[in-house]
Chains A and B, each alone.
Chain A
Amino acid sequence: MEYEAIIGLEVHAQLLTRSKMFCGCSADYAAAPPNTHVCPVCLGMPGVLPVINKRAVEYTIMTGLALHCKIAEFSRFARKNYPYPDLMKGYQISQYEEPLCYDGWLNIEVDGVAKRIGIIRVHLEEDTAKLTHVGEYSLIDVNRSGVPLMEIVSRPDMRTPEEARQYLIKLQQILRYLGVCTGNMEEGAMRCEANISLRPAGSQEWGTKVEIKNLNSFRSVKLALEYEIARQTELLERGERVRQVTVGWDEQRNVTFVQRSKEEAHDYRYFPEPDLPPLYISREWLEEIRSRLVELPDAKQERFVREYGLDPKDAAVLVAEREIADYYEACVKAYGDPVKVCHWISGELFRLLKATELPMSQVKIAPAHLAELLKMVDANTINLNTAKMVFDEMFHTGRRPQDIVQEKGLAQISDADELLRVVQQVIEQNPEPVQQYLKGKEQVLSFLLGQVMRATRGKANPQLAGELLRRSLRGE
């Protein structure tokens, strides 16, 4: 039988605020020694009280807007009660019945087919402390406790692991565009849990849902879903039932393992957080937040196609990261020809970025310098090969192309007299090929041209050199 997978994703994204969700401790804990970003509040000491970080609320609303969500007029925090050593107060301050954002969507594309994935809700909560398991013990570092965490819950609208992967990629793009989250999954700044159930293709019934935790990379998400589909398909085909469980993904062994069965499910005993008055998101506040929204990848891609005449695929590559798109536009502004700029960025620049594994933020080539380089090509001051060489040098040093060309004497030789001297020299030094050419072997011309380039160390204007060579050989 054919089975259809029903997949929903729950993503947790740490917000890029300076301070924590409910206290003034620095939220930038990644490089900090254990328990150095901790105060009585995030340690859950007796007597402490939370105070809401305004920026975290605004970042969440911004995300909701980017995901086409409705923004609640009234929103409230709630206590989610469950004991665990990484939870300092024995409850997590989260949101339950009144999340900040709900009912939105985002578009993904798989194999050229667009698909809309629904978003159930986006809410705000606090992160837990970090547990490290060492032998018979677990060590608790409280630095992460209280870092603002946004939870984004999709509708079960995905049908394949690749759709799930594309959803995550798109979500990551959006979060990064907004500047609300680094989106780095390996660092745990963005974490994913998946729900998956199978049903016979064409059926309208829901199958039994399995929840997969510990998905720390795009790859894990895809592999774990593929694994679960295979596992559940096998069970169903044997006529067995899928148990409603929570499983973990074992990255080393590439298998899922049962963490908790339905019977052990938590009773979270949510109730409104009495320490925090509700949030009221007025029209004015909402519009003020909306005005701070940047252009998002989809809109930008569309505009690049429309405004710059780019191929949609090329545009998609440029908008994948906001910094690349911004860089592209700065270069277009400085130079003019959007298609040519696109080729340089997606060709030369990406090649070097990949080779050096540097992020876009480390690129040293100023847009004005790239424009200068391209203008030198246009003006025949240098040829294309030289330009690529110079580009490489610019990438590594950040120097002006003019300086590089001048210093290394790379300017193209377009002086006919000077080139003619070289051409005649080459003809004299290569009697054999010259004879062949004169006998009608046209291909020899490129060999001779190569000799001219060699003699000029690549600086010869290739058109002019070819022209002069032909004329000289014909005795003109």
Chain B
Amino acid sequence: MALYELTIREARALLRKGEITSVELTRAVLERIEALDAKVRAYLTVTPELALEQAKAADARRAAGEDTPLLGIPMAIKDVICTKGVETTCGSRILKGFVPPYDATVIAKLRAAGAVLLGKTNTDEFAMGSSTENSGYFTTHNPWDLTRVPGGSSGGSAAAVAAGEALAALGSDTGGSVRQPAAFCGVAGIKPTYGRVSRYGLVAFASSLDQIGAFGREVADVASVLGIIAGYDPRDSTSVNVPVPNYEEALMPDIRGMRIGIPKEYFVEGIQPGVEKALREAIRTLEGLGAVVDEVSLPHTSYALPAYYLIAPAEASANLARYDGVKYGLSIPGETMWDGYRNTRGQGFGPEVKRRIMLGTYALSAGYYDAYYLKAQKVRTLIKQDFDKAFERFDALVTPTTPMVAFKIGEKIADPLSMYLTDIFTLAPSLAGICGMVVPCGMADGMPVGMQILTGAFQEPTALRVAYAYEQATEWHKLRPPLDGKVEDKEVMRQ
């Protein structure tokens, strides 16, 4: 097996035994990037020299007796997370050349843990989008089918992990931006509870929804990364001061007696038959593992999309006001100071970002605040109450992640509303601030399907446990995209 194909768990074992070094592992992944990324285009920036330096340092730390779960593990970082000294663009032209003078808290934690940072991955501009087609630079391709999107906005991170261009990656999820690309690319991903991971250094899109999450090729890897990045941060007043459990201890293949709810509103018409079929089978697998499965209703589900598309753009319209060409980033001067603002913002932002700024500005403006923004916040309360109620009866809820598998590049870009609709299953959990985990659970149309496992606030261990038990009972996570010109040898297995 090529080194770049290793999971974190496998790589860690080899590193511990001294059979490989982090430098070898990192070099293998960098070579993979070199060989493949011209096709996949997962990365906006690769930093090979820095990565090898970090790998060398990790090897030295290991030689000195250190051993942390991510020591020497090469990872990719979504380009909305600030990295000191490394360009951070958020996939936007307006931040071209911006080099942060500080590290995001999660980056500082990864560095302290000895992870190796390979570079910055592509994203829809400011994480606004579901396909990476809104990136100000280029579109990332789905490793399973290069004519399809990898999902978004963390499409670069998901594609990198799926393609063997990183062992794991950080993404961010505001309305599904980790979960949807994880499903589209056939990898495991988690959006932790709002407040679980510090947002300090995550460039804000919608502050009350944004949360940093992780991708891995198996559930255990996601647990390892989450264990490092989670926790209270005095720099983020919305990070919650509750202890971080040992997530790896949650990885038990036993879910007997666990109560799992199936929200009926997530199995509606319009869902791709292959996706529904995969989910129904996955649910049977969970039942076979001893879970107690029952239907549940989340009656306000259909209001999540409009509520989200009022709240998130409203917050975004304020968060993106700072990009004015004065302090950093792109600057297109005009005849007057205000013309400079208009030019820089008009030309620096792409169409989707401008659309959302406009929408959010409108929702907050005099005379419309009550009808739109305030109303949406009240709907948010109803949506949260739906979940609160469901979690009185169930330990976890299981749903499809998306109504369809990865779509073709260009298919939806001209119709924003149809693009927004690809996120209908991930928006409500975001509004409720709860934990959402995705694992591959089948194939449809030759593309991966992802199962979304939802648990209540700070119930990450439960989500990981369900995901892990399912993963151990199935082979979907072992499938690899046919990137080397040949279809994977391993037969597509059903459990």
**Total interface residues on A, using CB and 8 Å?**
29
Which residues of B, 248-286, contact A by the 8 Å Cβ criterion? none
Which residues of B, 170-204, contact A by the 8 Å Cβ criterion? 199-204
Residues on A with beta carbons closer than 8 Å to the beta carbon of B203: 46-47
Measured between C-beta atoms, what is the minimum distance from B108 to chain A in Å? 12
Residues on B with beta carbons closer than 8 Å to the beta carbon of A91: 318, 321
Q: Which of A40, A47, A276 contacts B237 (CB 8 A)?
A: A276
Of the A-B pairs whose beta carbons lie under 8 Å apart in the complex, a sample of 26, sorted by A's number, is A46-B88, A46-B98, A46-B204, A47-B100, A47-B104, A49-B200, A49-B236, A49-B237, A49-B238, A51-B235, A52-B237, A83-B321, A83-B324, A85-B324, A88-B327, A89-B322, A90-B322, A269-B317, A269-B364, A269-B369, A271-B315, A271-B364, A274-B206, A274-B315, A275-B204, A275-B207
Residues on A with beta carbons closer than 8 Å to the beta carbon of B82: 45-47
Contact A140 B365 (CB under 8 A): no
Contact A47 B318 (CB under 8 A): no
Contact A81 B318 (CB under 8 A): yes
Per-residue B-contact encoding for A18-47, CB less than 8 Å = 1, 0 else: 000000000000000000000010011111
CB-CB nearest in chain A for B367: A267
Q: Does B223 count as interface, using CB distance less than 8 angstroms?
A: no
- Measured in the bound complex, the distance between the Cα atoms of B233 and A51 in whole Å is 11
Contact A90 B324 (CB under 8 A): yes
Q: Does A235 count as interface, using CB distance less than 8 angstroms?
A: no
- Measured in the bound complex, the distance between the Cα atoms of B208 and A277 in whole Å is 11
Chain B: interface size category: 35 or more
Measured between C-beta atoms, what is the minimum distance from B139 to chain A in Å? 23
Q: Does B401 count as interface, using CB distance less than 8 angstroms?
A: no
- Measured in the bound complex, the distance between the Cα atoms of B169 and A143 in whole Å is 37
Q: Does B35 count as interface, using CB distance less than 8 angstroms?
A: no
- Measured in the bound complex, the distance between the Cα atoms of B82 and A49 in whole Å is 13
CB-CB nearest in chain B for A41: B235
- Measured in the bound complex, the distance between the Cα atoms of B361 and A94 in whole Å is 18
Contact A269 B365 (CB under 8 A): yes
Task: Tell me whether chain A's interface is mostly helix, strand or loop, or mixed.
Answer: loop
- Measured in the bound complex, the distance between the Cα atoms of B365 and A48 in whole Å is 25
Task: Tell me whether chain B's interface is mostly helix, strand or loop, or mixed.
Answer: loop
Measured between C-beta atoms, what is the minimum distance from B231 to chain A in Å? 15
Q: Does A138 count as interface, using CB distance less than 8 angstroms?
A: yes
- Measured in the bound complex, the distance between the Cα atoms of B104 and A63 in whole Å is 37
CB-CB nearest in chain B for A276: B237
- Measured in the bound complex, the distance between the Cα atoms of B337 and A267 in whole Å is 20
Residues on A with beta carbons closer than 8 Å to the beta carbon of B98: 46
- Measured in the bound complex, the distance between the Cα atoms of B337 and A75 in whole Å is 36
Per-residue A-contact encoding for B299-326, CB less than 8 Å = 1, 0 else: 0000000000000001101101110101
Which residues of A, 266-287, contact B by the 8 Å Cβ criterion? 267, 269-271, 274-277
Q: Which of B202, B206, B238 contacts A47 (CB 8 A)?
A: B202
Q: Which of B208, B328, B337, B361 contacts A138 (CB 8 A)?
A: B337
Contact B100 A277 (CB under 8 A): no
Number of A-B contacts (CB under 8 A): 99
* Residue of A47, A48, A52, A88 with highest tally of chain B CB at under 10 A: A47
Contact B90 A83 (CB under 8 A): no
Which residues of B, 394-421, contact A by the 8 Å Cβ criterion? none
Per-residue B-contact encoding for A62-103, CB less than 8 Å = 1, 0 else: 000000000000000001010101001111000000000000
Per-residue A-contact encoding for B50-93, CB less than 8 Å = 1, 0 else: 00000000000000000000000000000001100000101000
Assuming A46-B95, A47-B104, A49-B236, what are 17 further A-B pairs, CB within 8 angstroms?
Answer: A43-B327, A45-B100, A45-B101, A45-B327, A46-B322, A49-B235, A51-B235, A79-B318, A81-B317, A81-B318, A89-B321, A90-B321, A269-B318, A269-B364, A271-B318, A275-B204, A275-B207
Residues on B with beta carbons closer than 8 Å to the beta carbon of A50: 237
Measured between C-beta atoms, what is the minimum distance from A128 to chain B in Å? 13
Residues on B with beta carbons closer than 8 Å to the beta carbon of A85: 324, 326, 337
Per-residue A-contact encoding for B202-220, CB less than 8 Å = 1, 0 else: 1110111000000000000
> Closest 6 CB pairs between A and B?
A90-B321, A269-B364, A274-B208, A274-B207, A46-B203, A47-B201
Measured between C-beta atoms, what is the minimum distance from A79 to chain B in Å? 5
Which residues of A, 132-154, contact B by the 8 Å Cβ criterion? 138, 140
Contact A44 B322 (CB under 8 A): yes
Contact B314 A271 (CB under 8 A): yes
- Measured in the bound complex, the distance between the Cα atoms of B200 and A83 in whole Å is 23
Residues on B with beta carbons closer than 8 Å to the beta carbon of A274: 206-208, 238, 315
Q: Does B341 count as interface, using CB distance less than 8 angstroms?
A: yes
- Measured in the bound complex, the distance between the Cα atoms of B238 and A416 in whole Å is 85
Given A88-B327, A271-B314: A83 and B100 interface contact (C-beta under 8 Å): no
CB-CB nearest in chain A for B199: A49
Residues on B with beta carbons closer than 8 Å to the beta carbon of A79: 318
CB-CB nearest in chain B for A91: B318
